[in-house]
Amino acid sequence: MQDISKNSGQLYRITYEAYSKFANKISRCKTLKEVGEVSKTHLKYLLNYHIIRLTVEQGKKHLLFSLTKNEVDYDFEEKSEMLPHEKELLEKGIPVFTDKIPMKWLESNINTSLLEKPEMWAWLFNNNGRKVTVTLISDKNKAFTVADLEILKLAVDCFEAKFHEIYLARMLFKKNKSLEEALAIIKSKNIEIQSIVKNQRHIIDERTSEIVEKNKKLLHISALNAHNIREPLTRIQGLIELFPHYNNEGIRQELIPKIKYSAEEMDKILQAVIKMATKELRILKIESE
Amino acid sequence: MNSIILVDDQSITNFITRKLLEIEGVEIPVEDFTNPIEALAHVNENEEMFILLDLNMPEMSGWEFLEHLNTNKFPPKVVILTSSTSELDQERAKKYSFVLDYLIKPLKQQVVAELLRKYCLVNK
């Protein structure tokens, strides 16, 4: 069997095939977990790494992702700090190749006891206008070379696009959720308002009918009063109508006493009306207070 | 016409009406009642009676009085004489075919004269 490492054309074809398979599968991923699964199976054929860490510029924030052999970690909540070399990269853009590795970070992600002479590589890429820093840890057993940079760039492209897509989907979901929540709140408030309005209407109707009833009563009383007052008055008028047919003595004897009686009755009725009206007014005043 | 009947709970009103009738030369008997129940008992279908009826009375209202008369085969002729200026009352009175007129107090001599002429109650 021929040694394929010496046949660069064939090697290129195999790498290309592995990459297209990887890219294809990544593009179909819907979750970060699926990205992790695909990376686990396919990325090892493309390049050597122990961990790849990405920071992706998203507006004013930086989203963090890290890929180990087995999983994808991410921090969408922007809680973790950026590493010092990443900050420097974003500022100056000078690639890093060093054995001074921020161990605290590394130890929290992988088992460092198995590493032999670990090295850290880091670059600043610009993907679709978004600044992406890439940090890669390799060691003697899993050596990374500059020759692998092209394929790493392609892989990072792939990841970054997918991460961006997932991030946007997540934000959309979040926004939709908060919109739904707002909608639910509006709905419940609407129901509340409707019930308040209904209640108010009921109260208004009740008050209105009360007032109408009271008005009717008052009108009835006033009509009755007017009628009652008018009755003795018409008697007085009728008696006066008779004056021309009586002489002075007759007027004094027969008509005046009747006029006096009717006038007194009218006065009694008027006094009763005033008393009743005052009472009604007092009740109205008490009710309105 | 055999007689004129005055029905009003106020005797003074009856006095005034009777006086005005006399002044205008009524010769047929005039009888007056302050209690409409007694007046109703006096109504006799064999005699031709002309009734001047008040509406607002304690023992029996003019309306009840009219209802009683309405059961008669030949109810007597009635003219309402009231101090009520209510249009509702006037409308209500129109429903009785034997109610000829609706007069509002105070009764004037001239109105009495017209009434007597209109219903042939004097020989003038």
R_g over Cα of chain B: 13
Please report residues of A whose CB lies closer than 8 A to that of B8.
none
Please tell me the predicted confidence (pLDDT) of residue A151: 85
pLDDT one digit per residue (tens) for chain B, 124 residues:
789 999 999 999 999 999 999 999 999 999 999 999 999 999 987 888 999 999 999 999 999 999 999 998 889 999 999 998 888 889 999 999 999 999 999 999 999 999 999 987 776 5
Q: Is the dihedral of CA B57, B59, B64, B65 positive or negative?
A: negative
What average pLDDT is seen over chain A? 86
Q: Express each pLDDT in A100-111 by its tens digit.
A: 888 888 888 888
> How far apart, in Å, are the Cα atoms of A277 and each of A191, A223, A249, A268?
46, 13, 41, 14
Q: Express each pLDDT in A17-33 by its tens digit.
A: 888 888 889 888 888 88
Please tell me the predicted confidence (pLDDT) of residue A77: 63
Distance from CA of A252 to the nearest CA of B (A): 15
Distance from CA of A223 to the nearest CA of B (A): 9
- The minimal CB distance from A238 to the residues B85, B86, B107 is found for B107
What residue type is A179 in one-letter code? L
Give the ipTM of the model, two decimals please: 0.91
Q: What whole-number percentage of chain A has pLDDT above 70?
A: 96
Residue B105: helix, strand or coil by DSSP?
coil
Confidence of residue A235 (pLDDT cuts 50, 70, 90): very high
Does the structure show a pLDDT above 80 at A176?
yes
CB of B86 within 8 Å of a chain A CB? The answer is: yes
Confidence of residue A13 (pLDDT cuts 50, 70, 90): confident
Please tell me the predicted confidence (pLDDT) of residue A76: 65
Does the structure show a pLDDT above 70 at A169?
yes
Please tell me the predicted confidence (pLDDT) of residue A281: 80
Least confident of A6-20, A170-184, A246-260: A6-20
Give the residue from chain B lying closest to A262, CA to CA: B12
Distance from CA of B75 to the nearest CA of A (A): 28
CB of A154 within 8 Å of a chain B CB? The answer is: no
Q: How many CB atoms lie within 10 A of CB A156?
A: 21
Give the residue from chain B lying closest to A260, CA to CA: B12
Distance from CA of B119 to the nearest CA of A (A): 22
Distance from CA of A216 to the nearest CA of B (A): 15
Count of CB pairs separated by less than 8 Å, A with B:
52
Does the structure show a pLDDT above 70 at A5?
no
Confidence of residue A274 (pLDDT cuts 50, 70, 90): confident
Distance from CA of B20 to the nearest CA of A (A): 7
**B-proximal residues of A, 202-261, CB under 8 Å:** 223, 227, 230-231, 233-235, 237-239, 241-242, 245, 258, 261
Top-ranked range on mean pLDDT: pick from A75-84, A142-151, A171-180, B43-52: A171-180
**Inter-chain contact B106–A261, Cβ cutoff 8 Å?**
no
Please tell me the predicted confidence (pLDDT) of residue A2: 54
Top-ranked range on mean pLDDT: pick from A55-64, A92-101, A152-161, B93-102: B93-102
Please report residues of B whose CB lies closer than 8 A to that of A237.
105-106
Q: What is the residue-wise DSSP string for A196-220? A: HHHHHHHHHHHHHHHHHHHHHHHHH
pLDDT greater at residue A195 or residue A45: A195
Q: Minimal CA–CA distance to B8: which of B49, B45, B36?
A: B36
Give the residue from chain B lying closest to A257, CA to CA: B12
Please tell me the predicted confidence (pLDDT) of residue B17: 96
Please tell me the predicted confidence (pLDDT) of residue A6: 62
Please report residues of A whose CB lies closer than 8 A to that of B13.
234-235, 238
Does the structure show a pLDDT above 80 at A67?
yes
Sheet holding A130-138, edge to edge: A72-75, A61-68, A51-58, A130-138, A119-127, A96-98
- The minimal CB distance from B10 to the residues A223, A235, A242 is found for A235
> How far apart, in Å, are the Cα atoms of A22 and each of A19, A198, B66?
5, 63, 110
**Inter-chain contact B12–A262, Cβ cutoff 8 Å?**
yes
Please report residues of A whose CB lies closer than 8 A to that of B83.
227, 230-231, 233-234
Q: Express each pLDDT in A76-121 by its tens digit.
A: 666 667 888 988 898 888 999 988 888 888 888 888 888 888 999 9
- The minimal CB distance from A235 to the residues B16, B20, B108 is found for B16
> Average pLDDT for residues A236-261, to the nearest whole number?
95
Give the DSSP H or E segment for A98. strand A96-98
CB of B84 within 8 Å of a chain A CB? The answer is: yes
Cα A27 vs. chain centroid, distance in angstroms?
Answer: 32
Least confident of A169-178, A275-284, B20-29: A275-284
pTM of the model as a whole: 0.52
Q: Minimal CA–CA distance to A131: which of A104, A105, A156?
A: A156
Please tell me the predicted confidence (pLDDT) of residue B38: 95
Which among B11, B16, B24 is the top mutation candidate for probing chain A, defined by the most A β-carbons within 10 Å of its own β-carbon? B16
Q: Minimal CA–CA distance to A122: which of A104, A113, A135?
A: A135
Q: What is the residue-wise DSSP string for A44-70? A: GGT---SEEEEEEEETTEEEEEEEESS
